[in-house]
Amino acid sequence: MKEVYFDNAATSRCSEGVVRIVNQMMLEAYGNPSSMHGKGVEAEKYCRTAAETLAACLKVSPEEILFTSGGTESNNQAIKGAAYAYQRRGKHLITTQIEHPSVYRVMEELEKEGFSVTYLPVNADGLVETETFQNALRDDTILTSIMTVNNETGARQPVELLAKIQKTQVPGALFHTDAVQGFAKYRLSPAKSGIDLLSISGHKFHGPKGIGALYIRKGVRIVPLLEGGGQQNGLRSGTHPVPLIAGLGQAAAEAYQGFDEKIEHLYTLKKCLTDGLSDMEDVYLLGTQDPIISAPHIVSAAFVPVRSEVLLHALEEKGIYVSSGSACSSHNTKTSRTVSALGVEKAMADSVIRFSFCENNTTEEVQYCLETLQEILPVLKKYARR
């Protein structure tokens, strides 16, 4: 049976180059980077090379890269670390209603600790309005966290513009962006844009699971979440996972090779799918598909009245793997916060499926998916109406 993997926003398959270097590190460069002997120096070299690669991708300094266990830790470290470090200046934080749980729930926890949080709404395209953001800024605002790309709709937030507005209006406030879905899909330059903190996760762009990074602009103070041996300049204690770090660096390097061609291919796949879905009855695309404000790799659509989990498993039986929303909340029976924020009615919200591509997907796979949907939807609709 044909296998079509359209759930790359949840996780992606490791590239062969990543697998090779991870395996090599496990078997050869197995020293502790903190050790002073040759094996330790060898391992440290690979960590430094990975930091240099990530820094080059982001146009920042290698010393501004902190390795973490992934996007969740990066977001937690950025938000909690900055909030605790700057709380004497003020206790007002800003985020949006559509953030990943690793941002949204952290904000909720900080509210319990006495911080004040403004949760910005989004428009029908899933975007934060500039005026709404400006009105939310206060003299006691110390941190804003707004994602680069929404993991469910693909909406590309104007984070560079918002960061510049914040620097003008509240110069002392920090700006963090969760770029987990944006890294390797856009050329990001946080330092140039006034972004102080930026999170990435390796397994979203063919790197290993369990490794990520946080860009921390030089001069920004954050309180570490982990205490221990003081590795990574005291910001994250614990022995460096050298194989994963090397794999992350390799994945980042590969992601930006032939970048323009890859992104053009992703947009071709997206247009092929959205054009086909638009021709189907009772199928509704979520958010805008405008390539200027919509990421190349994510498409979400509601297939009314078929429930998302029913369609997901029906597609799986045909070898097509998709998602019913964010992988981090797919087992939650509640309606997605992101979908609700778009003003989507519950009946439609319960029918949402997310398709997400990588550069290895093909137009033939998209056509097979569309043909499969044309075949199974009439049957599932009849069952849903009973």
The pLDDT score that the predictor gives to residue 328 is: 52
Tokens of 346: 């519950």
For 103-162, the pLDDT digits (tens) are 999 999 999 999 999 999 999 999 999 999 999 999 999 999 999 999 999 999 999 999
The pLDDT score that the predictor gives to residue 329 is: 47
Angle at 184 between CA 329 and CA 238, to 5 degrees: 70
Tokens of 356: 């997400």
Residues of the chain falling short of pLDDT 50? 326-327, 329-330, 386
Q: Are strands 212-216 and 197-201 parallel, antiparallel or unpaired?
A: antiparallel
Instruction: Tell me the one-letter amino acid at 250.
Output: Q
Active site residue 358: no
Residue with tokens 């949760």: 119
Say which of 57, 272, 328, 358 is annotated catalytic: 328
Cis bond upstream, residue 171 (ω within 30):
no
Give the residue ranges of DSSP H helices in the chain. Answer: 16-27, 38-58, 71-86, 101-112, 130-136, 159-169, 190-193, 242-255, 259-278, 308-316, 337-341, 346-349, 363-384
Instruction: Tell me the one-letter amino acid at 271.
Output: K
Domains of the chain, first to last: 4-12+258-384 (3.90.1150.10), 16-255 (3.40.640.10)
For 319-359, the pLDDT digits (tens) are 999 999 644 544 555 678 998 888 888 888 999 999 999 99
Of 54, 82, 76, the residue nearest 215 (C-alpha): 54
Of 146, 141, 133, the residue nearest 171 (C-alpha): 141
Phi-psi region of 239 (alpha: psi -120 to 50; beta: other; left: phi over 0): beta
* pTM (2 d.p.): 0.95
The radius of gyration computed from the CA coordinates of the chain, to the nearest angstrom, equals 21
**154 neighbors 273 (Cβ within 8 angstroms):** no
The pLDDT score that the predictor gives to residue 332 is: 52
